[in-house]
């Protein structure tokens, strides 16, 4: 297994342990760096571009309206698979909630805590590995 796949698996494992089953990572320009989102993967190229555009919009709006206080953007969906997008350094990470997760949990705090502890280092390693490839 390559180093990249191992790091991706570690990220997936941490997310899965916390009730998130898919993720997408984009750079400051809204370009997708890494994705493990089944539904996004199956989307057309146009829709994938639209998702990257959405992340770019969020990044731009966050810098204008939230300054450095922006924490998270949530898309609440009727099917329960909510999408959470939040900054990790200069990058943006999007994760999808499992439908069976307890919705009474404070997911925002939970994600912020994950980013500040386990995920941040893994994502830095992933970016380094991708750069060396």
Partner 1 sequence: MIVFCEDCGSKNQLNPDQISFNQMGYNFVSFTCLTCQYKNVFKIDIHQNSNPNRFKNVLKEILSASSIIGIFIFHENKGLIYHLMPKVLKESDLLFLSKHLVNAHQESVQLFPDSDKTIWGIGDTHLTVKSLVNSLFIILASKTPALPDHVNSQLDLLDDHSYNPLADLAPGFPSGVPLG
Q: Which is nearer to partner 1, 7 or 92 (CB)?
A: 92
How far apart, in whole angstroms, are the C-alpha atoms of residue 99 and residue 55? Answer: 22
What's the min distance (Å) between Cβ of 94 and partner 1? 11
Which two structure tokens, joined as six digits, stand for 122?
């893994």
How big is the site for partner 1, counted in residues (CB under 8 A)?
Answer: 28
Q: Which is nearer to partner 1, 8 or 59 (CB)?
A: 59
Q: Does 1 bind partner 1 (CB under 8 A)?
A: no
Q: Does 133 bind partner 1 (CB under 8 A)?
A: no
What's the min distance (Å) between Cβ of 81 and partner 1? 9
Q: Can you tell me which residue has the tokens 């350094």?
A: 89
Q: Among residues 26, 40, 22, which one has the least CA distance to residue 97? A: 22
Q: Can you tell me which residue has the tokens 């760096």?
A: 33
Q: Does 71 bind partner 1 (CB under 8 A)?
A: yes
Q: Does 45 bind partner 1 (CB under 8 A)?
A: no
Q: Does 13 bind partner 1 (CB under 8 A)?
A: no
Looking only at Cα atoms, what is the longest distance across the chain? Answer: 42
> What's the half-sphere exposure (Cβ side, CA atoms, 13 Å) at 11?
28
Applying CB under 8 A, the residues found at the interface with partner 1 are 47, 50-51, 53-54, 57-58, 61-62, 64-66, 69-79, 83, 103, 106-108
């Amino acid at each position: 297994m390559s180093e990249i796949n191992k790091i991706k698996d570690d990220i997936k494992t941490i997310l899965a342990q916390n009730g998130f089953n898919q993720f997408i990572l984009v750079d400051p320009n809204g370009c997708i760096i890494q994705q493990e989102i089944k539904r996004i993967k199956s989307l057309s190229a146009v829709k994938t571009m639209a998702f990257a555009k959405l992340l770019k919009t969020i990044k731009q709006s966050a810098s204008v309206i939230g300054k450095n206080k922006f924490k998270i953007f949530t898309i609440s969906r009727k099917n329960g698979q909510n999408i959470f997008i939040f900054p990790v350094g200069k990058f943006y990470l999007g994760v999808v909630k499992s439908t069976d997760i307890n919705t009474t949990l404070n997911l925002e705090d939970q994600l912020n805590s994950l980013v500040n502890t386990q995920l941040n280092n893994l994502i830095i390693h992933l970016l380094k590995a991708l750069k060396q490839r």
